[in-house]
Structure 1
Amino acid sequence: MNDRSDFVVPDITTRKNQGLRHDPVDYTLPQPLERYSAEDHATWATLYRRQCAMLPGRACDEFMQGLQQLEVDADRVPDFARLNEKLLAATGWRMVAVPGLIPDDVFFEHLANRRFPVTWWLREPHQLDYLQEPDVFHDLFGHVPLLINPVFADYLQAYGQGGMKAKNLGFLPVLARLYWYTVEFGLINTPQGMRIYGAGILSSKSESLYCLDSASPNRIGFDLQRLMRTRYRIDTFQKTYFVIDSFQQLFEATAVDFTPIYQALQALPTLGAGDVEAADKVFHIGNQDGWADSDDL
């Protein structure tokens, strides 16, 4: 999601969508399968093989099971319609193709109705390791496999339902932190050890290694209000990762009315991305190696 009012559509998004039209209301368009080149399919295959080689033992079981159940294509950019047949049957979710980042209210409306917006185009070979805006590999590979898990699927729908309320109350930046630190960059504690479930990590080779192996970041137990007070990074690896005990914990913690929480947060200080509080459940305090000096969001 994009909560920055100064957002400018990146050049690559404009270039990839040249000549295409999306619906002016919900921003969807038919997935333009004919636009995927041989180079696109080769790039997808490279990214897919690279992540699948490193994620066992790092990604949570639910993600790996979802990837297998959906039978996500390994050698070419997947056909959304084919995957939607399995996804709809499992949890009632489906993917919809969009040109790139979309307005917040449109994004929330899709999630609230169990539709996950997926950017249809793919990064280029020179961008394998980093792309600031989401592409089809991030959106589909990173996000969609967990939508086959019923509890996580319900959590994401509830997030969408709460989005418009947060926007109307003026607390969208606070709610964006919840999405960022769970859906995009969340870790989960399991009997087998700490695992990844956030799509921003799962679709990134370097952050898949950093988030679990590096001594630099903090790893702190999930607490809703604590998390919603915490700024985050969009230009570097995260300074802090929040760790849930289960998807059920996440769903139950966020199923309440957020209005009193928003009111309570107004009386509390906002925390930097790397701050550690005395009351935190700390799994690891980072040594801050390589932390950027630029401002957190």
Structure 2
Amino acid sequence: MSDANLTRPKGAADDWTIPQGWDAYTPEEHATWDILFARQADMLPGRVTPEFIEGLDVLRLSKPGIPDFEELSERLIKATGWQVVAVPGLVPDEVFFDHLANRRFVAGNFIRKPDQLDYLQEPDVFHDVFGHVPLLAHPVFADYMQAYGKGGQRAAALGAIERLARLYWYTVEFGLVRSGNGLKLYGAGIVSSYTESVFALDDPSPNRIGFDLKRLMRTKYRIDDFQQNYFVIDSFEDLLEQTLNTDFAPLYAELEGQPDIEIEAILPADKIYTRGTQSYARAREAA
């Protein structure tokens, strides 16, 4: 939820936080949250990683209406030391990384309109809170998110934010995780989207590839439609271990001279769970 080229809005604090303004939400806005929540809560069990469902329960997110960030943060602090802070929208990279490094998750305080239930380009409160916050109640994933924030601060100093952004995109936003003999959802961009929650697991179009840090950080991604690649982690523990045990400075230097990998590409070294047909993306391009 970051962007390097932004101007701080009037009324936002130096760290870009603003009051959530919970009392100002309209009945229609609360109803929009309830519709979105009910759709996802009905279809995600059995598809999403169990840790996500546990987070919903621990944080009591099933309570009707848009959550009050103060109440939500009280429960989250008890679980993992994280809190949720309101921002007016996208924030600069350095602000985003600083909040994550200090266990603060920034969430937009606005919600989409009723005619935008299935797609919204800028993350709203449903994407940010329903999609991201439940896994912040899981200690290992919570540690990963803080490690990512600290890594972002180092990446900024090394001019490597774009590489690290790909890690966030393909894990935090659009990641899959192995579960028994199958795959489960965990990325916030998937679990907050009714249509992509189905597409990511069931559609024959996308590639589903085993997580490889170097490969992932060379891979392009798209922000305007369903993903053509999903990367599959073995576990949150393994994801955290790889993040903490990797010296990113020489990794960035190694990758600097290597070409980007096209979104739909399959490499000989890839661990392939699904070799996608790419039929969805090709049909969209031809339309």
Regarding TM over 0.5, the answer is yes
- Which whole-Å CA distance do the structure 2 matches of 1:114 and 1:126 have between them? 33
Superposed displacement of residue 169, structure 1: 1.3
Give me the whole-angstrom Cα distance separating, in 1, the residues matched to 2:11 and 2:28: 23
CA pair 3-261 structure 1, distance change in 2 beyond 3 A = farther
Q: Are 2:144 and 1:155 aligned?
A: yes
| CA-CA distance at 1:234 after TM superposition | 0.3
- Mapped pair 1:269 → 2:259: yes
Q: Cα offset for 1:3?
A: 4.6
**1:177 equivalent in structure 2:** 166
Residue in 1 that maps onto 2:26: 37
Task: Supply the distance in 2 between the matched residues of 1:190 and 1:4 (Cα, whole angstroms).
Answer: 36
Q: Which amino acid aligns with 2:264?
A: G
User: Runs of 4+ in structure 1 displaced over 6 angstroms?
Assistant: none
Deviation string 1:10-60 (CA, Å, 9 cap, x unpaired) is xxxx9xxxxx7221x101112101220010011000000000000001110
Q: TM-score, normalised by structure 2?
A: 0.95
TM-score with structure 1 setting the length: 0.92
Q: Tell me which residue corresponds to 2:37.
A: 48
Q: Aligned partners of 1:35, 1:152: CA distance in 2, in Å?
A: 32
Give the unaligned 5+ runs of structure 1.
Answer: 15-19
Aligned to 1:286: 276
* Residue in 1 that maps onto 2:175: 186
Q: Per-residue CA shift, 1:99-129, capped at 9, x if unaligned?
A: 1110110000000000000111111101000
> 2:107, 2:128 within 8 Å by CA — same for their partners in 1?
yes
Alignment RMSD: 1.7
Q: Could you say what secondary structure the match of 1:279 adopts?
A: coil
Q: Is the 8 A contact 2:177 2:184 kept in 1?
A: yes
Question: Do the aligned residues in 1 keep the contact of 2:4 with 2:92 (CA within 8 Å)?
Answer: no
Structure 2 match to 1:71: 60
Q: Is the 8 A contact 2:190 2:197 kept in 1?
A: yes
Find the aligned partners of 2:256 and 2:190 in 1 and give their Cα distance: 30
Q: For the residues of structure 1 that align with 2:158 and 2:128, how far apart are their CA atoms?
A: 28
Change in Cα spacing, 1:108 to 1:4, as seen in structure 2 (3 Å) is closer
Identity %: 55
Contact 1:216 1:286 in 2 (8 A): yes
Task: Count matched residues.
Answer: 283
Q: How does 1:195-234 map to 2 (within 5 A)?
A: 195-234=184-223
SS of the residue corresponding to residue 231 of structure 2 reads: strand
